[in-house]
Chains A and B, each alone.
Chain A
Amino acid sequence: MPKAEIKAKPDLKLIREEEIPHLLVPGEVGAVLELIVKDKNGKVTNHKVMRSRSFVRQFLELLWVQMYQIPESAAYSIKDTSNVAQNICESAYNFNCHAAAGDATLGIIVGTGTTAPTIDAYVIETLIAHGVAGGQLQYSEVTFGDPASDAATSQFTITRDFANGSGGAITVNEIALYVKGYKYPTPYYFMIIRDVIAGGINVPNGQTLTVNYREQAGV
């Protein structure tokens, strides 16, 4: 009997000021990571909110490339998710994480690895592939919530749903953000955040994990 395919459709809502989580101290730029598991009726079965700990080196390097406006003639070498050093220059593509449904090479990515992050990490440890076979989750399109602010914090949200139609439970232990970097005429893919979830988050068969990265700056 074929497995039912679960449609993953992000449910984006505007964040009201009083709902902005404050986990950063003044002067920090980082992300708050929110994980929500819902059953097929939309009932929340698990919910975690935590500080994202781990911008990795590729974030700083892409910021360097854009702030410096490094041109093609002096491109800067950055390690991509395939462990290949790529020469990157300033571009409209840099930091793009707007992935389509089913694309597990860009945007928010999930995995089962548990090794603590290091600044040199360039790829998720053990990728959970897109699909409905055993051990796979269905990746939705990546969506975005507009920037908002309150008296202390400004933020925007990156969201992706992962629907489990695999037939069994899957525990997500690591979450990453992959973005594009560019040197004409080719885009490459880089990991800029990797977080390991203490204890993991279980996604039972038939349920959907929603991951929100809220990039924030605290004043």
Chain B
Amino acid sequence: MLTAKLILDRLDKEGRLLERKEQKSRSFTKGLIQLLYVAHAQITDASPYSMTEYGGAAKNVDSAIPGSTNYTRENKCTLKVGGGPGNSENILLPGKSFLANNSIGLNDVSKEGQYIGIQVGTGTNAVTPTDTALQTRIAHGKTAGLLEYGGCELVGISIVNPNGEFTIRRYFTNNSGGSITVNEVGMHAAGSWGHYLNGYSNLFLIARDLVSPGVAVANTEILRVTYVPQITV
């Protein structure tokens, strides 16, 4: 079985730990199962699988293997959760060459880093398997109600019988001028669709967890959110 720990650390601006909350992640959503299905079944671009991205739109996803004439090395962003900070541009590789075919615009496969990987929000509704977005996502920024998203990083894969795990984490800095309470945490992973003349990449919710009571992050404080996926045989 795969399980995950969820850890929220509230730090002061010097990085000193003020509060730690650790809980079992309860809520990998259907999005993870769908992306694994797409990869296992090698869903083709001609018969793609439709998923709902975090913004609510239906988007095709595939795991297409292009022909050798399409200037590709079979790169594919499926399940990507590592991402850059804030509004930094990230290319989500769609599986086929978008550089050699001008009709696939870079804009269709690039996303701001804030939307990739760990997300936080203020919603308190119960989690369901079919959730496709946080209830009320906190966006990246430094005005009222916003948090500055650091990069979403993966570190520390470790496998020693009978256990294995790695860490996914992200820092959120509150420079909004006021306190913000985080009640929900989740994770976006990438999926894409494309053939040699067209394509796009999108982000899908694969986990959502409630944090109750929420963690109040005062102005200038930092919130570190960590997911630790684990397997045990």
Contact = CB atoms under 8 A, between A and B. Distances in A.
B233 interface: yes
Contacts of B73: 72, 184-185
Contact of A67 (B128, B164, B168, B231): B168
A92 B63 contact: yes
Contacts of B63: 92-93, 96
A61 interface: yes
A9 interface: no
Contacts of A90: 75-77, 80, 93
A26 B157 CA distance: 24
B79 A66 contact: yes
Contacts of B3: 27-29
B129 A217 contact: yes
B42 A96 contact: yes
B233 A53 contact: yes
Interface stretch (A39-47, A146-154, A166-174): A146-154
B39 A94 contact: yes
A67 B189 contact: yes
Of A53, A54, A90, A219, chain B has the most CB atoms within 10 Å of the CB of A219
A2 B219 CA distance: 80
Given A67-B81, A95-B39, A153-B129, A118 B233 contact: yes
Interface residues of A, number: 58
Contacts of B128: 151, 219
Contacts of B80: 66-69, 90
B154 interface: yes
A146 B161 contact: no
B46 interface: no
B74 A91 contact: yes
B162 interface: yes
B78 interface: yes
A154 B130 contact: yes
B82 to A, nearest CB: 5
A118 B75 contact: no
Given A66-B80, A119-B231, A155 B40 contact: no
B106 interface: no
B41 A30 contact: no
A63 interface: yes
Interface string B4-36: 100000000000000000001111111011101
B84 to A, nearest CB: 12
Interface in B36-93: 36-37, 39-42, 49, 63-65, 73-82, 93
A215 interface: yes
10 contacts: A27-B4, A29-B3, A61-B157, A61-B159, A66-B78, A90-B75, A154-B130, A218-B28, A219-B26, A219-B128
Interface of A: 24, 26-30, 51, 53-57, 59-61, 63-64, 66-69, 71-72, 90-98, 117-121, 144, 146-147, 149-156, 158, 179, 182, 184-185, 215-219
Given A92-B76, A217-B29, 18 more contacts: A26-B26, A27-B26, A29-B32, A55-B2, A60-B2, A64-B157, A67-B189, A91-B76, A92-B63, A92-B64, A98-B41, A118-B162, A119-B159, A144-B40, A144-B41, A149-B30, A215-B36, A219-B26
Interface of B: 1-4, 24-30, 32-34, 36-37, 39-42, 49, 63-65, 73-82, 93, 95, 127-130, 154, 157, 159, 161-166, 168, 189, 229, 231-233
